[in-house]
Structure 1
Amino acid sequence: MRNHKQQEQMYLNCHTYYSLRYGTIKPEQLLAIASENGLQTLALTDINNTSACLDFVRLSSKYKIKPVLGVDFRNGAQQQFILIAKNNNGYKNINDYLSKFLHDSELKIPEIAPELDDVFVIYPYIHKKTYHLKEHEFLGIKPKDLNHLKFSKWNAFRNKLVVLQTVSFQNKKDFNTHRLLRAIDNNTLLSKLSKSEQGQETDRMLPYQELCDTYREFPELIKNTASILDKCHSDFDFSHENPNNPHSYIQNEALDFRLFRKLAYAGLHYR
């Protein structure tokens, strides 16, 4: 019998074209694809970017989808870990952590995720790699990892494993566009683009039953994935009654102008 709660909550790693020089899907299109597949919860985890998050949340009610927010932290195309916000405070903590790397291009994202309040961590499973997982940390198992998993010690610790079916493309055309973007980002010819610098053509949203069939020998992974997404909630007010933009930052617009002018000149040397 199909478990509807699990059916609705399966995707922890979804990208839009705000995953710059990597993703190809519009934020609203991602929601539409999810709706077509009968999903009611979806995690948006763009690569080193949160630009699409608020629009994603705003549009989610139109498609009757519960939005979950996070970031896929990568060095180039190399995935280090995924951070998923349990709530607004977790989302703020993820943004604060991400900002350090966006403000200093020489910094490299480490292999070990930080311990942030109200945040889940998903590490991509690598065969024979040693992991020391904390309570809020999990291993993401991709379909291609399942054969290795059968002979791994982690097969005995399924409570720490989740489904990691990445969504970056809608079809083959999208994947071809992605490869062009990766070639541009690496300043190389498409024919010389390394496999390690591109995603998999299979990084698409699969029908629920197909995904269940893929993980049928590991039902705990489906249950764990649904449990994580069920614990995540975001709350942003997009109503017209409560405008998000105040008329002035301090007492009035004239004082605002003087403050902004002062800050602009103070930061001019740095810029």
Structure 2
Amino acid sequence: MSFVHLHTHSEFSLLDGASRISEMVRLAAETGMPAIALTDHGVLYGAVDLYLQAKAAGINPIIGQEVYVATRSRHQKEGRADRDPHHLILLVKNLEGYRNLIQLSSLAHLEGYYYKPRIDKALLAEHAQGLIALSSCLGGEVASRLLEGDEAGAEQVALEYQQMFGEDYFLEIQDHGMEEQTRVNEGLARLSQRTGIPLVATNDSHYTRKDDAEAHDILLCLQTGTVVSDQKRMRFHNDEFYLKTPTEMAERFREFPDAVANTIRIAERCHLELDTKPLLPRFEVPQGETAETYLRRLAEQGLKSRYPELGQVVRDRFEMEFGVIEAMGYAPYFLIVSDFIDFARQNGVAVGPGRGSAAGSIISYALGITTLDPIQHGLIFERFLNRERISMPDIDVDFDDRNRDRVIDYVGQKYGQDHVAQIITFGTMKARAVIRDVGRALDVPLREVDHLAKLVPPTLNMTLDKAIQMVPELAQAEKDPVYERLLKNARKLEGLVRHASTHAAGIVITPEPLQHYLPLQASITRGDKNGQEKRAVMTQYEMNAVQKIGLLKMDFLGL
């Protein structure tokens, strides 16, 4: 019997999930699963990664989220009553569902955030189309009522969700060998019989394979600032929270074969196709002009000022470049960049001379985007843009650090504040840092951990595997049982995401409002006055994901 995992957490459930998306997809392929879902806590950070990697592996990607549903309204934020929201799994069926999940995830962060990003039932009812809902784990509202012995209340909640989602609402049964789950599953089975709401079997996976359980336990210690030996800390009940094989799931739920089969039925309802073609913002051009004719007029004016002689070599180069830009539909891109650079120069913001392959474009030079003559310096346009490279051109622009925000504000005013956002970035556990983190969680003496970490060469892209091959003392350390345990777990956690922050330079500009394309959350940046904090929005997708779904990413670098 086949099976599909519909309740999973990756490294993007920060310091709570230890699965890499690539490993999840590989395991699904190896065990013959036709699909796999990703349902991180309150975020969609890994959605694009899952979509592209699963598609490449011939597996159906199911984008989802384990959302937090406020016990009252998402706008109420008053102590304990609002601090412990219920869990609910949402899975995307189609493009409408994807856009609804983006809205829910964004508003959970921007409106409902209180300890966690929270939606409420009113918001959920507005955005339920195109989504499948599962009642979630012991933290779900139905399960919570059953644990309290309130079966009538549990039934009322289940019927409320059924009214919202119709045939796309399922009661979720889990079995990690916990006594509470056995009680809840019995209650869910009775509810299912009475209401006709179908059961679905899931495994609340937080790591990929069973032998990753200790590494995951250490991750929880990093999240809570505790050590493994602390008996009172938060910990998982056992080592059953991994991506089990279809055979293991069928065996575990042999009394509920329909609940296992329903995972396939749910997966068959999920068919999301994302359009990844380039999506440029609209640039207003004078009446009677197109982006192409206006770009030609501006570039020709600039060309005359840069090259008073305007020889045949210059003319030929200009026509060749313009032909490529026009054929690829990138005229608006050059107009957008030229416009904000003109604004900067006219308003006393220092602008750099241009960096990278953009300096190879005579049109960039004519528009004042760069200040280097590509013909004089023998720079090649094709390194910057050519017909074979089907991706957005990428021009990085340096601005005076103190006034960079003025240019960002101008872009927000021109295209609409709801079309412009900063971009998230993720910090990962590097070789030295992960030794320190794991050593602290395992309560290894600080001096020993420090010595071990300093054995790792401080070079770029250094990994633990490379370091152990290069440094005999580090290889020797693995023979000590304490260090062997430390290094084994450090290897498993190395490279995982540790925290999120705002990218120093990345800005996204969209043709339609941002939430049409990607989820948002709050970011905190330094304001102008006295270094005080000011709130802005940033994307939940990092810059590579932003570009992979066709959106325009600009780097506004501060120097």
Q: Matched residue of 2:132: which SS?
A: strand
Query: Which residue in the other structure is 2:446 paired with?
Result: none
Mapped partners of 2:275, 2:412: distance in 1: 30
Shift of 1:237: 3.7
Query: Which residue in the other structure is 1:175 paired with?
Result: 213
Structure 1 position 138 matched with structure 2 position 150: no
Cα distance change of structure 1 residues 25 and 148 upon mapping to structure 2, 3 Å threshold: closer
Q: Indicate which of 272, 275, 284 corresponds to 1:234.
A: 272
Q: Matched residue of 1:57: which SS?
A: helix
Shift of 1:42: 0.7
Whichever residue aligns with residue 24 of structure 2, its letter is L
How many percent identity over aligned positions? 20
Cα distance change of structure 1 residues 137 and 48 upon mapping to structure 2, 3 Å threshold: same
Q: Where does structure 2 lack aligned partners over 5 or more consecutive residues?
A: 70-82, 137-141, 282-329, 344-406, 418-524, 529-533, 536-559
Mapped partners of 2:85, 2:222: distance in 1: 17
Shift of 1:264: 6.4
Q: Is the 8 A contact 1:10 1:163 kept in 2?
A: no
Shift of 1:93: 1.3
Structure 1 position 194 matched with structure 2 position 234: yes
Deviations 1:112-162 (A, max 9, x none): 582222111111262345133311322210024356534652251564211
Mapped partners of 1:84, 1:207: distance in 2: 21
Shift of 1:254: 2.1
Deviations 1:188-232 (A, max 9, x none): 34313124xx47521112221221122222122123222221111
More helix by share: 2
Q: Is the 8 A contact 1:250 1:256 kept in 2?
A: no
Mapped partners of 2:217, 2:120: distance in 1: 25
Deviations 1:31-76 (A, max 9, x none): 0011111111111112222121112111113321111101112599
Q: Indicate which of 242, 248, 257 corresponds to 1:204.
A: 242
Judge which range, 80-89 or 157-166, deviates more.
Answer: 157-166
- Normalising by structure 2, we get a TM-score of 0.42
Q: Indicate which of 119, 128, 131 corresponds to 2:131.
A: 119
Q: Is the 8 A contact 1:168 1:204 kept in 2?
A: yes
Judge which range, 105-114 or 91-100, deviates more.
Answer: 105-114
Mapped partners of 1:167, 1:77: distance in 2: 21
Q: Indicate which of 69, 81, 91 corresponds to 2:88.
A: 81
Mapped partners of 2:258, 2:210: distance in 1: 31
Mapped partners of 1:205, 1:77: distance in 2: 27
Query: Which residue in the other structure is 1:61 paired with?
Result: 55
Structure 1 position 160 matched with structure 2 position 198: yes
Structure 1 position 252 matched with structure 2 position 328: no
Whichever residue aligns with residue 83 of structure 1, its letter is L
Structure 1 position 15 matched with structure 2 position 9: yes
Judge which range, 162-171 or 259-268, deviates more.
Answer: 259-268
Of structures 1 and 2, the one scoring higher in RCO (CA 8 A, sep 6+) is 1
Q: Is the 8 A contact 1:12 1:42 kept in 2?
A: yes
- Normalising by structure 1, we get a TM-score of 0.80
Q: Where does structure 1 lack aligned partners over 5 or more consecutive residues?
A: none
Q: Matched residue of 2:11: which SS?
A: coil
Q: Matched residue of 1:56: which SS?
A: helix
Q: Is the 8 A contact 2:174 2:203 kept in 1?
A: yes
Mapped partners of 2:223, 2:260: distance in 1: 35
Kindly name which structure, 1 or 2, has the bigger radius of gyration based on alpha carbons: 2
Shift of 1:79: 6.2
